[in-house]
Structure 1
Amino acid sequence: MTRSDHMRLYTFKDSFQDAFIKNFICVALGIIINYINGVFVYTFCKNAVFYGNSRYILYIHLVTNDMIMLSVAVGLHVATYAVPFMQVSICCFLLLLGNMTAKNAPLNLAGMATERYIAVCKPLHHPQICTVKRAYILICLIWMASTIPVLADVFIIIVLKPLSFFNTNTVCILWDIFDTQQHRDRATVVEIIFMLFVWLTLFYTYFMILHTAKNASTDQVSAKKAQNTILLHGAQLLFSMLSYIAPFIDMYLVPLFPKSRSNILFTTFLLTHILPRLLSPLIYGIRDQQFVKYIKSYFSCKHEHASQVKPQ
């Protein structure tokens, strides 16, 4: 049984109460996580001190990317219940946007790890290499790298299927739309290349920082923080990769526990698509004293302003 078959059963066999509870949990978590991430985006936009630092620019791009990814995932989850059959053209746009943001996240982590490597191992060259302009160029390159496979998927559909296919209705699931062997081959090759590149980048930058930290002239505190940051990037990447193995988890567990099919699929969806989006602010933002200082300042000022408002 394929992931698509599982999702159909998952969607149509839930009672109204179960469907309501699951969608409520997804939407509530989505709002909470996006609010937390939105606080970091707001803090970044309101304080010019962050504008000139490539590290914060890359971080806020990661957070914004996660917000888009989460919104698409939650929206599609609710849509499978509210509008089970969606027009293929609309579904394609949403699936491809989600696919692009999913690929952006690990590439952005690789860019952030490289920036930390340059800051620790080549501190004298860091201001010249990691400029604001180059940070935005890197972000553009990340989006280009994630867009090319998406355009390839659309091109395959145009070549192999009639244009009228885009006007038909279907269950909005990735492998129901991009269901050809060419799509699977393309996806396998691209995912392997992307993951190899990101993991090699993380391993290289971590061990280079570890090696540099042994030098007595190196700022040991900064080196240690950079090592911890890259290790956390690796943990974050592992959680991000859960979305790739989720179909295999479903295909293994569902036959073992057929009566719990709906709950298994819902749990894997939460663990692989929703909760990992909370990692960016928890792993990176809250550890950054600069961000924490301005967030505390923002909330304290907001509280003081509210306390000064006199009741009518």
Structure 2
Amino acid sequence: MNTSQERDSFQDAFIKNFICVALGIIINYINGVFVYTFFKSAVFYGNSRYILYIHLVTSDMIMLFVTVGLHIVTYAVPFMQVSLCCFLLLLCNVTAKNAPLNLAAMAIERYIAVCKPLHHPQICTVKRTYILICLIWMASTIPALVDIFIIIALKPLSFFNSNTLCVLWNVFTTQQHRDRATAVEIIFMLFVWLTLFYSYFMILHIAKNASTDQACAKKAQNTILLHGAQLLFSMLSYIAPFIDMYLVPLFPKSRSNILFTTFLLTHILPRLLSPLIYGIRDQQFFKYIKSYFSCKLVIVKIESKPEPKQ
């Protein structure tokens, strides 16, 4: 988020906030359509793939709402109480880290479905899927809580009652925070990428060998590449603080634009890939979306027709 809003003119500030709010509303509306479709269709309740997908979408919606709100706050009311800021930053960090871990879980589910189809119903049950979601939240929350505990250990409690600019590296300023962030991000990145590579290369291998339809194999390959692209964009949120730390000193006059660009590319735009990859390309999901919204359009047209004159 922008830590130097005082250097922006009113026009620049308005344009940046307008872009963030507009994209946030559009992406959350699209994601909300998929959440609505999921809860309206009982057919999705027992499918671990769709449960994981809706968890990914919901987590993205929370993350977008909080981050866009914080971005606006840094312009409108720059300073807020540290305790509230810590809670909001914790929520941002947790939901941001949920996405790559959720993608790893979806990769494992697809690997089991394609490579071990006979065992898929026994392994990927609804109960185990929700347990896995709880583990994802635990894995994302514990590092964020460690940041809070470091502040409690190193700073007086009065620090939480003070006001500050609510930006990650402005609150978690110690070397311990940087060491913790570096270690955790490396571990997360290695785990998720190894999981993705293993799962999807195995799926690609099975798809090419088992299918005589070359078009089907090509479609599977394209899907895998899209998953990799989404993961790559999601992982950018891990290294965004480091990008800012290295680029800002090199181009101090462009600090505001650098921070805004990295925020846009690593926190907002990747959230648009989930509905495009999993929702619109999924024929079953798209079929239910079309049926619900086409029915609503028909109802609206019928209600809007004028009554015939007597």
TM over 0.5: yes
What is the alpha-carbon root mean square deviation over aligned residues? 2.2
Single out whichever of 117-126 and 18-27 deviates more from structure 2.
18-27
User: Alpha-carbon deviation of 1:242?
Assistant: 2.1
1:95 and 2:89 correspond: yes
Q: 2:254 & 2:148 partners in 1: Cα distance?
A: 35
Q: Which residue of 2 aligns with 1:115?
A: 109
Q: Which residue of 2 aligns with 1:127?
A: 121
Residue 268 of structure 1 aligns with an amino acid whose one-letter code is T
Contact 1:120–1:222 under 8 Å retained in 2:
no
Contact 1:149–1:190 under 8 Å retained in 2:
yes
Q: 1:154 to 1:223 in 2, by over 3 A?
A: farther
Q: 1:130 & 1:219 partners in 2: Cα distance?
A: 27
Q: 1:194 & 1:251 partners in 2: Cα distance?
A: 20
Percent identity of equivalent pairs: 85
> Given the alignment, which residue of 20, 33, 38 partners 2:14?
20
Residue 229 of structure 1 aligns with an amino acid whose one-letter code is T
Q: 2:177 & 2:252 partners in 1: Cα distance?
A: 29
Q: Which residue of 2 aligns with 1:86?
A: 80
User: Alpha-carbon deviation of 1:253?
Assistant: 5.0
Unaligned stretches of 5+ residues in structure 2: none
Contact 1:240–1:272 under 8 Å retained in 2:
yes
Contact 1:212–1:218 under 8 Å retained in 2:
no
Q: Which residue of 1 aligns with 2:223?
A: 229
1:299 and 2:293 correspond: yes
> Given the alignment, which residue of 171, 175, 178 partners 2:165?
171
User: Alpha-carbon deviation of 1:226?
Assistant: 5.0
User: Alpha-carbon deviation of 1:209?
Assistant: 1.9
Q: Secondary structure at the match of 1:170?
A: strand
Q: Secondary structure at the match of 2:164?
A: strand
User: Alpha-carbon deviation of 1:224?
Assistant: 5.8
Q: Which residue of 1 aligns with 2:141?
A: 147
Contact 1:246–1:272 under 8 Å retained in 2:
yes
Single out whichever of 53-62 and 242-251 deviates more from structure 2.
242-251
Contact 1:119–1:126 under 8 Å retained in 2:
yes
Q: Secondary structure at the match of 1:86?
A: strand
Residue 150 of structure 2 aligns with an amino acid whose one-letter code is I
Q: Secondary structure at the match of 1:22?
A: helix
> Given the alignment, which residue of 55, 60, 79 partners 1:61?
55
User: Alpha-carbon deviation of 1:187?
Assistant: 1.0
Q: 1:298 & 1:214 partners in 2: Cα distance?
A: 36
Q: 1:187 & 1:163 partners in 2: Cα distance?
A: 23
Single out whichever of 178-187 and 109-118 deviates more from structure 2.
178-187
The number of aligned residues is 306
Contact 1:116–1:226 under 8 Å retained in 2:
no
Q: 1:160 & 1:95 partners in 2: Cα distance?
A: 19
Q: Which residue of 1 aligns with 2:41?
A: 47
Q: 1:274 & 1:262 partners in 2: Cα distance?
A: 17
User: Alpha-carbon deviation of 1:81?
Assistant: 0.6
Single out whichever of 255-264 and 22-31 deviates more from structure 2.
255-264
Map Cα deviations across residues 61-120 of structure 1 (whole Å, 9 max, x no partner): 000111111111101100101110010000000000000011111010000000110011
Q: 1:225 & 1:51 partners in 2: Cα distance?
A: 26
TM-score by length of 1: 0.91
1:246 and 2:246 correspond: no
Q: 1:121 & 1:218 partners in 2: Cα distance?
A: 16
Residue 278 of structure 1 aligns with an amino acid whose one-letter code is L
Q: Secondary structure at the match of 1:309?
A: helix
User: Alpha-carbon deviation of 1:167?
Assistant: 0.4
